[in-house]
Amino acid sequence: MPSPDKVTDLPSAVATHVGNGMTVALEGFGHLIPFAAGHEIIRQGITNLTFCRMTPDILAEVMIAAGCVRRLVASFFASGSAGSLHEVRRRVEHSDPAPLEVEEYSHYGMVCRYQAGAAGLPFLPLRSYAGSDLPRLNPMIRKVADPYGGPDIYVVPALRPDVTIVHAQRADRAGNVQMWGIIGAQQEAAYAARTVIATVEEVVDEDVVRSDPNRTVLPSHAVSAVVECRGGAHPSYAQGHYDRDNAFYREWTPISKERDAVLRWLDEWVHRVPDRAAYLEKLGPERWESVRVDPRTSQPVNFGRRRVVA
């Protein structure tokens, strides 16, 4: 059964689908963070993005520092689990070198926004925010009356990115994307978007994907472009492929503290690096060895095959 081949390279995928002023979501909750795609957006000099990401982190820092982002829509602003995002802080606290618009929700608020966007709904309700200051500062968090007689309940509006970019372990050429380990809200963020780019560790034969259809997080109809991009989540990780580069995260904090250091880093690791292969080469085999993981494979399950009746 032939299917349209969606495999392309990252510069083409970004050039085709990401433009100035768009609303762009790059998701991945501490896992499978699409760093390579973010770097390509920087290299292409795309600006004025409304950048959606539940957990802005080093990826958000570099994209903001590079001037790609006008507005940040997010729910937790920290590097890794707790470290400060100094580039974000400079802009928010001192408008240095420029202000940054921030639209803030909680994690589940963002998840519900993506869910509503994915399901073509105007909003979804959630049991948060009663008594919080967040709704006062974010007028998009509203309340509806419960038609079944219960108390009012807060709702958040659908989020519909122009483009969502995710990284995954594998996809076939048609764009059926499989991931495992922490899958976060990627399915929702992708279905919420008009266009989806999936970077993957491996493009695999469709037989691999079809041997385990329950593993598919994004069916091909939800995906516009597939890019094979080994190591595309570094310095975050890809479960079973390579581990998080914790040393990188620790090294980032002093860089983050000085804007000039961030810009130097961008020059060295993004602008002067044509693609992820070159980035990994620059990183070097020793560093890569430090994040290698040993095998621990899932036990296969049987999907069965109907026997031909003689």
Partner 1 sequence: MSSRPVGGTEALSDVAPSTTEFLAAVAARQLVGKQRVFAGVGLPTLAVDLARRTVNPDLELVYESGICGAQPEGLAEGIADSVLVSGAAAVLGMPALFGYVLQGGHIDVGFLGAAQVDRWGSLNTSVIGDWDQPRVRLPGGGGATEIMPNAGECIVVLRRHDPGALPARLDFCTSPSPVRAHAEDPRMVPPGHGVSTVITPMAVLRRPEKLGELVVSEVHPGLTVDEVRAATGWDIPVADDVRETERPTVEQIRLLREEIDTVRLYLR
Answer yes or no whether residue 299 interacts with a copy of itself by CB under 8 A: yes
128's contact among partner 1, a copy of itself, none, with CB below 5 to 8 A by partner kind, is: partner 1
DSSP label at residue 222: G
- CA distances from residue 242 to 27, 176, 239, 246 in whole angstroms, order as listed: 18, 22, 6, 12
- Print the binding letters for residues 206-245 with a copy of itself: x by CB under 8 A, - otherwise: --x--xx-xx-----------------------xxx-x--
Beta pairing, strands 101-104 & 123-126: unpaired
103 binds a copy of itself (CB under 8 A): no
Q: Residue 239: what residue type?
A: Q
Determine, following the binding rule CB under 8 A, whether residue 304 of this chain makes contact with a copy of itself. Answer: yes
In DSSP notation, 56-106 reads --HHHHHHHHTT-EEEEEES---BTTTB--HHHHHHHHH--SS--EEEE--
Query: Out of a copy of itself, partner 1, none, which partner does residue 301 contact, by CB within 5 to 8 A per kind?
Result: a copy of itself
Q: Which is nearer to partner 1, 271 or 287 (CB)?
A: 287
Cα(158)–Cα(31) distance, integer angstroms: 24
Q: What is the DSSP-derived secondary structure letter of residue 7? A: E
Q: Is 180 in the site for a copy of itself (CB under 8 A)?
A: yes
Cα–Cα–Cα angle for 7, 3, 19, nearest 5°? 40
Of these partners, partner 1, a copy of itself, none, which one is at the site of residue 286 (CB under 5 to 8 Å by kind)? none
Residues 248-277 that bind a copy of itself (CB under 8 A): none
Q: Which of 45, 97, 99, 181 binds a copy of itself (CB under 8 A)?
A: 181
- For residue 137, the partner it binds in partner 1, a copy of itself, none, with Cβ less than 5 to 8 A by kind, is partner 1
